[in-house]
Amino acid sequence: MTGLKIGFIGAGNMAEAMIKGILASGIKAELAVSDSSVERLEVIRTVYGVEAVSKDNKRVSDFADIIFLAVKPQILSVVLRQLKGRVRDKLIVSIAAGKTIEYIESILGDEIRIVRVMPNTPALVLSGATAVCGGKSALDEDLETVRSLFSSVGSCVIVEEEKMDVVTGLSGSGPAYVYQFIEALSDAGVKMGLTRADATLLAAQTVLGAARMVIDTGIHPAQLKDNVTSPGGTAICGLHELEKGGMRAAVINAVEAATEKSKELGRKK
């Protein structure tokens, strides 16, 4: 992709992750950023060399062909009303959690090309998991453009919007589940005699390596698990304890509960 003009309204962590990813990927694009915080704008300007920074959202929207709405859900309506009538022929990409495409179209108009995105926090270290979906007027090439941009900060899939609550429950909330698992592994290592630093490093690297094996090999996780479990060995004994503790059911229940909560929050907005 070359010659893109990309604007970010909001300069928070996710916008910063996207800027970092775009620059690291070599995508040829001109960037502009707006935010109410002068401090955040200064970070974007000095750390990433983006000179086109402003407190004026309209200036960024007029500049850009692709506009990322990287603001908190509670102020999205204010930003959308600022942009109304100014974004015809532009692609709008919303990262505002819980805000549906229908909601955005109700303010901007359903003729506007809108793509909704659900990223997660590991995008900050270019290892995110993101899902995208398109509105009534979004073109296939719009979805591909957004998918390519978010692939610069990790992996990205295209889904139907009705699946976004599931995405929120799985990959959106999932880092919290994984952090708790890493903490539990580290606690176990400390209990059995390792230092906290060594236990945490080994636990985190084990999770990272196992995830990389799933992605790089394409082998089903169950088969990879079987490859580790020798007959009468240590791993099968540990797995038996996890099964007795209901780990599999607990994880499924966690994703289900988070999905239902996402639906509930969406109905309240």
Beta bridge mates, 238: none
- 221 among annotated binding-site residues: no
- 178 among annotated binding-site residues: no
Helix 196-217 and helix 221-228, axial crossing angle in degrees, nearest 10: 130
- 6 among annotated binding-site residues: no
- 232 among annotated binding-site residues: no
Beta bridge mates, 34: 9, 54
- 253 among annotated binding-site residues: no
| Distance, CA of 90 to CA of 146 (rounded, Å) | 13
| Distance, CA of 153 to CA of 16 (rounded, Å) | 11
**What strand order describes the sheet that includes 66-69?**
53-54, 29-34, 4-9, 66-69, 91-94, 113-118, 128-134, 154-158
Phi/psi-derived region of residue 26, left when phi > 0, alpha when psi is between -120 and 50, beta in every other case? left
- 70 among annotated binding-site residues: yes
Kindly state the greatest CA–CA separation across the chain.
Answer: 68
- 73 among annotated binding-site residues: yes
| Distance, CA of 92 to CA of 143 (rounded, Å) | 11
Name the phi and psi angles at 217, rounded to 5: -90, -25
- 9 among annotated binding-site residues: yes
- 78 among annotated binding-site residues: no
Helix (H, G, I), strand (E, B) or coil at 119: coil
Q: Are 212 and 206 in contact (CB under 8 A)?
A: no
Element holding 23 (H helix, E strand):
helix 13-25
List, as residue ranges, the binding site: 9-14, 57, 70-73
List, as residue ranges, the binding site for NADP(+): 9-14, 70-73
List, as residue ranges, the binding site for NADPH: 57
